[in-house]
């Protein structure tokens, strides 16, 4: 029998909140990063690359865990390595997809091997794949703050030429935009964002934060201001809502986050559909 209190349980809730203050902050930062990066993931068609990078990020984290080094560092190392491979070899969309498809199972395999060899607690192992909330200590939060500052600052600087290059790469190149360098730069930023997300929601579910909110936002608007704003908002609601719901039960955080994120996407599609219907009538 499934015990419903495993999934939803709000007893002693007031005492639990302070324990996850760090997690809530980390979640909010992650939502900011994921929501913004997601917009570019959508218009540069990098959804699949996000998945590939997250598997290598997982592998990096698992290997570092096994050999006794910092897990966060391992995760950043793995995802930047994957991002570099994808950025330099996968210039064309078709090449990129096959490279990602080749990297992904390899990364996952290496990660599972490292976890199987790791003698420590099983909760640590699963956390990398499916996410964990209580494990955000102060150093981890600091890493998250630094990542968020780097990613957001870089995106603000690159926003315009990146969008220009997505619209018409040739025209942007004619105006002096180094489209290739810009593309590589963005995938490296994506690597950082993925590494941050793997810490909280786990490698398997990174897409729920880096793709779903932006995809939902795009259903509702095409404004350069509202798409990123809505995307961040949706990511925030999923992330914070998911964390607060996960607090009571015994399940990992990810099912809550992914479900909220998915529901927002469904609602966005419904709104788009009903709008189109109104226009047609």
Residue 11, φ and ψ in degrees, nearest 5:
-75, 145
* 62 vs 162, beta carbon nearer another protein: 162
* 119 vs 176, beta carbon nearer another protein: 176
Instruction: Tell me the closest approach of the beta carbon of residue 90 to another protein, in angstroms.
Output: 18
* 166 vs 243, beta carbon nearer another protein: 166
* 173 vs 188, beta carbon nearer another protein: 173
* 7 vs 269, beta carbon nearer another protein: 269
Q: How far is the C-alpha of 258 from the C-alpha of 137, rounded, in Å?
A: 23
Instruction: Tell me the closest approach of the beta carbon of residue 179 to another protein, in angstroms.
Output: 10
Instruction: Tell me the closest approach of the beta carbon of residue 34 to another protein, in angstroms.
Output: 16
* 79 vs 166, beta carbon nearer another protein: 166
Q: Cβ contacts of residue 200 below 8 Å, gap of 6+?
A: 23, 26, 27, 30, 131, 132, 133, 136, 239, 253
Distance (Å) of CA 270 to CA 211, 232, 247, 258: 18, 20, 30, 18
Instruction: Tell me the closest approach of the beta carbon of residue 27 to another protein, in angstroms.
Output: 24
Interface with another protein (CB under 8 A): 39, 42-43, 45, 156-161, 163-164, 166-168, 170-177, 217-218, 221-224, 226-228
Instruction: Tell me the closest approach of the beta carbon of residue 36 to another protein, in angstroms.
Output: 12
Instruction: Tell me the closest approach of the beta carbon of residue 182 to another protein, in angstroms.
Output: 10
Q: How far is the C-alpha of 34 from the C-alpha of 2, rounded, in Å?
A: 33
* 42 vs 110, beta carbon nearer another protein: 42
CA angle 251/212/243 to nearest 5° reads: 30
Instruction: Tell me the closest approach of the beta carbon of residue 215 to another protein, in angstroms.
Output: 8
């Amino acid at each position: 029998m499934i015990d419903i209190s495993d999934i939803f349980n709000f007893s002693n809730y007031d005492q639990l909140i302070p324990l996850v203050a760090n997690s809530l902050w980390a979640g909010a930062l992650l939502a900011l990063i994921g929501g913004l990066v997601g917009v570019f993931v959508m218009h540069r068609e990098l959804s699949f690359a996000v998945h590939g990078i997250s598997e290598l990020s997982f592998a990096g984290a698992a290997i570092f865990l096994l050999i006794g080094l910092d897990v966060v560092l391992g995760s950043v190392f793995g995802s930047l390595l994957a991002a570099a491979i994808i950025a330099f070899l996968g210039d064309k969309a078709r090449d990129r997809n096959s490279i990602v498809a080749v990297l992904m199972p390899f990364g996952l395999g290496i990660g599972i091997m490292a976890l199987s060899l790791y003698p420590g607690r099983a909760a640590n192992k699963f956390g990398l794949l499916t996410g964990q909330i209580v494990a955000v200590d102060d150093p981890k939060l600091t890493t998250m703050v630094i990542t968020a500052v780097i990613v957001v600052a870089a995106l603000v600087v690159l926003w315009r030429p990146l969008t220009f290059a997505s619209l018409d790469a040739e025209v942007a190149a004619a105006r002096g935009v180094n489209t290739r360098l810009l593309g590589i730069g963005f995938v490296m930023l994506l690597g950082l964002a993925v590494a941050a997300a793997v810490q909280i929601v786990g490698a398997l579910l990174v897409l729920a934060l880096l793709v779903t909110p932006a995809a939902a936002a795009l259903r509702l608007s095409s404004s350069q201001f509202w798409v990123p704003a809505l995307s961040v908002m949706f990511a925030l609601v999923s992330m914070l809502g998911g964390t607060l719901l996960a607090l009571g039960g015994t399940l990992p955080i990810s099912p809550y986050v992914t479900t909220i994120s998915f529901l927002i996407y469904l609602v966005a599609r419904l709104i788009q559909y009903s709008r189109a219907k109104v226009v047609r009538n």
